Amino acid sequence: MGNRMISYDLGTGGNKASLYDLDGNCLAWVFVPYKTIYPQAGWHEQRPVDWWEAVCESTRRLLEKTGENGRNIECLAISGHSLGAVPVDRNGVLLRDTTPIWSDTRAVREAEEFFSRVDNDQWYMTTGNGFPAALYTVFKIMWYKNNEYQMYKNAYKIIGTKDYINYKLTGIIKTDHSYASGSGVYDLKANAYHDGFIEASGIDREKLPDIVLSTSILGQITPKAAAETGLGPNVLVVCGGVDNSCMALGAKNIEEGRVYTSLGSSAWIAVSSSEPVLDLKAKPYVFTHVIPGLYTSAVSIFSAGTSFTWLRDNLCPDLKESEARGGQNAYRMMDMLAERSPAGANRLIFNPSLAGGTSQDASANLRGAYIGLDLKHNREDLIRACMEGIAMNLRLRLDVLRMHCSLHDEMLLVGGGSKSPLYRRIFADVYNMDIIKTNIDQDAAALGAVAVAAAGCGIWKDFSRMDSIHKTAEKLKPDTDNNRIYERLLKVFDFAAHSLSEISDKLCFPMD
């Protein structure tokens, strides 16, 4: 038996291979990026071959970096970015060089066609698919059928991102419940594909992969895959899960009501519960958890870290240039400036919807703005208002989850933004919750995937070990005075968001 495990976080920007011991401690990781291709408006594609090459390269580099023998790897599992549609023939040969990723919106007409036959509200309440409908896999498959019929006809299966990598590793095509729950034709309560939705879509049922548990062992790695990755010939490949659900597990959402906030380029709040959180107005997006019997329901904003990066590049270019010359990290210097501004940023509000509105907003056309800008405001206020605006936007979404289920009184922060002490303080005061920072920052998805592998192979009896893997670095309680300020500002922020949605709709006119 080997004494090491590997997880792959197959993300939108690249693949991260992480080496773990059998107790779940991360020993090292290697990241290999790949490109997204934008052939035309709304088309966001990647090459599955690039995913595979990134997996192979990151594995070889990881083994080289650690001096680990590939034969010491007992098992592996993948966390994969969602809503993929990878067509392969009966021999597993790719039928399309590039395939649409989760953010691809080309299938708008296919979604309209589907909803001429299926009630939209019934579909959402059955699937929990709260993203814009065109993003979901079934509509991409319908687009294949409508626009590339011969390729569609030749497809044996149309599978997800991590399921394609699993095929390359084992020669076996399967998916798991968490990934299938983003297909657009999955019934959350029945834990199965919905025959009526498949029929309404007009796609062939047999082109969808069979579903197994996330912890199911697909088989051993093939000799060819072992040679390409540098792994030993007896490594067990576990099915793994969609990134949202693996991250929930890695963020120790292993019990009813546990909740976390992920602060990255985008940001979301997710709760684990025995019933999916469904709301026809706010439309939280739901995935089946990798833990049987649980769901992970989330609300999000599209631009969190990207809003802060925009602020750095456009209002703080001197800090960016200073970092490039060997100075302090620009984001840390921005934190230091923002600390000079009081809670509420001197009555300045920032809406961070620079990448558009989500299903929780009044309009997808919503764009960001500073509100209440005055001659007295300085750069310190602008930076702090940006950070507070991200937190307030998420707080309004948190209230949606609170309406439907009982949340734990602690909020775990993960992702790059969790590293900022000021951010953690702002979130404690805006959320009016205890904020927990642990040793798991940007590794939640990788940790979740390796936990699935460990449980699937019987190395762990269950997922309770997650609590001991997380070591609390800080616990922040909300400041009563600051929270009082934010509660008043939240009402203004909410009103402004609705007004901005109307303004943004009116700005959608041709400029020529």
- Concatenated DSSP letters for 342-387? PTTTTT-EEE--TT---TTSS-TT---EEES--TT--HHHHHHHHH
Please name every residue paired with 412 in a beta bridge, in sequence order, or none if there are none.
Answer: 260, 436
pLDDT in tens, 445-504: 999 999 999 999 999 999 999 999 999 999 999 999 999 999 999 999 999 999 999 999
Rounded distance, CA 211 to CA 173, Å? 10
Q: Name residues whose C-beta falls within 8 Å of residue 55's C-beta, 6 or more positions apart in sequence.
A: 8, 10, 15, 17, 165, 168, 229
Question: pLDDT, tens digit, for every residue of 349-372?
Answer: 999 999 888 878 888 889 999 999
Q: What are the φ/ψ torsions at residue 420 (nearest 5 degrees)?
A: -85, 120
Q: Give residues with Cβ within 8 angstroms of 206, minimum separation 6.
A: none
Spatial distance between the Cα atoms of 461 and 437, rounded to a whole number of angstroms = 26
User: pTM for the full model?
Assistant: 0.93
Q: Is 23 helix (H, G, I), strand (E, B) or coil?
A: coil
Residue 508's pLDDT is what? 87
Instruction: State the distance between the two ends of the chain, measured CA to CA, in whole angstroms.
Output: 67
Per-residue pLDDT, 358: 84
Closest CA to 351 of 505, 494, 506, 503: 494
- The ranges assigned to domains in the chain are 4-245, 252-439+479-512
On whether the CB atoms of residues 301 and 352 are closer than 8 A, the answer is: yes
Contact by Cβ (8 Å): 188, 211: no
Give dist(CA 55, CA 53) in Å, integer: 5
- Show the 3-state SS of 278-345: CCCCCCCEEEECCCCCCEEEEEEECCCHHHHHHHHHHHCHHHHHHHHCCCCCHHHHHHHHHCCCCCCC
Q: What does the angle CA 36 – CA 171 – CA 9 come to, to the nearest 5 degrees?
A: 40
pLDDT at 364: 84
DSSP category for residue 479: P
CA–CA dist 285, 183 (Å, integer): 12
Which residues are CB-contacts of 390 (< 8 A; sequence separation ≥ 6)? 263, 267, 301, 304, 307, 308, 352
- Domains 4-245 and 252-439+479-512 alike in fold: yes
Say what the pLDDT of residue 399 is: 93
Element (H, E) at 468: helix 466-469
Residue 176: phi and psi, rounded to 5, are -115, 170
Q: From CA 93, how far away is CA 179, in angstroms rounded?
A: 21
The domain made up of 252-439+479-512 is a member of CATH 3.40.50.10540 = no
> CATH for 4-245?
3.30.420.40
Give the chain's residues under pLDDT 70: 1
